[in-house]
Amino acid sequence: MIQNAVPAFNDQENIKRYQKRLLNKTSSGLGFLVFAYYAMIALSSAVLALFMEIMQTGTLDMVPLLYINTFVAVLSGFLPALFYFLLSKKRISDTVDTKYTSIPKILAITFLGLAVAMIANIASNIIISNFEYWGIINNVDSAQEVYTLEQAVLMVVSSAVVPAFIEEFVFRGILVGVLRKYGDAFAIIASAVMFGLMHRNITQIPFAFILGLLLAFVYCKTNSLIPCISIHLFNNFYAVITQIFYSSNILTERMYTTVFALISFAFFLIGFISFLFLIKKDKNFFKVSDSYAEPNNGGIYVSLTLKEKMKEFFINVGILLAVIILIFETIYNTGFTWIN
């Protein structure tokens, strides 16, 4: 239920207008939250670049850089969230759910999530290949380093552990936690779009959108961030470990391909078993409702359509500002080349 007081309307159209205004205002606030999250990351990167320029160094050793990235990631997530809760006068406990979920269920959801992530990765690669066919490439360079043990550990912490907690808190805990009052399906789709755009490059956006759908769905079905963090953490951990092994030349190209195929098959198999386990425990686990109803003083129930909700979510100052900025950087990070 939406906690705001409902005006004493007896006309369904007036109630719908009220709900639209409320959703529009709520979405704008969430848009400014996403923009602030992005702005903190961008500002921190700019300050770091300026610092290196002042010190007359073009680079910074990886170890202190990883420490800085970890600190920036935490600050970029929690500081905007703190201001959001202060300005919106919402309480964290009323927005972010951390209800108890049994260990077997968390494990089943995690394994299923990893299987879906592997499928999403394949789908993302297909999309990227089609982009490349038309000469659209991603200009963001990926590091090719030989990692020491300390660097590898810090890499896991900064790129796997911290983002799993911060991004789940912001995008599932706050965005989905606020939007699901208007319907779970709506909250899942809207938050996934913003989560995808937040990655700001064509290599990650398709994957992040699909993963965002999965994580938001899990949050709505379990009412807890814990399974979402578990999926996110292990997915990131797999990606980081893969990068470390590949960059450090620990495996040959052929061995890398073979290991990747075996791990993918194992994820699919365990994911399917987890799917059967969850179905057996709850036949309605994979059903999602988008119904929302709020009684007015006359006892009349009304609901907005999914199309109406999506329109109010995206057509407001906060969301438009965030979307335009994120799309602009995505385009900036995208190059065009002729593929022969």
Q: What are 131-155's pLDDT values in tens digits?
A: 766 666 666 555 556 677 778 888 8
End-to-end CA separation in angstroms for the chain: 57
Which residues, 6+ apart, have CB-to-CB distance to 59 below 8 Å? 52
Structure confidence at residue 304 (pLDDT): 86
Looking at residue 339, its pLDDT comes to 45
pLDDT tens, position by position, 166-220: 999 999 999 999 999 898 999 999 999 999 999 998 888 989 999 999 999 999 9
Model confidence at 105: pLDDT above 70: yes
Q: Of 46-60, 69-83, 313-327, which gets the smallest average pLDDT?
A: 46-60
- Percent of the chain at pLDDT > 90 equals 43
Listed residue (239, 63, 260) closest to 160, CA to CA:
239
Q: Tell me: pLDDT of 110 over 90.
A: yes
At 39 the pLDDT is 92
Alpha-carbon gap, residue 229 to 235, rounded angstroms: 10
Residue 142 confidence (pLDDT): 54
Higher pLDDT, 219 or 61: 219
Mean pLDDT over the full length of the chain: 83
| Cβ count within 10 A of residue 269 | 12
In this prediction, residue 251 has a pLDDT band, given cuts at 50, 70 and 90, of: low
Neighbouring CB atoms inside 10 A of 23's CB total 23
For residue 231, name the pLDDT band (cuts at 50, 70, 90): very high
When pLDDT is cut at 50, 70 and 90, the band that residue 277 belongs to is very high
CA atoms within 13 A on the CB side of 255: 7
Q: Whole-model pTM?
A: 0.87
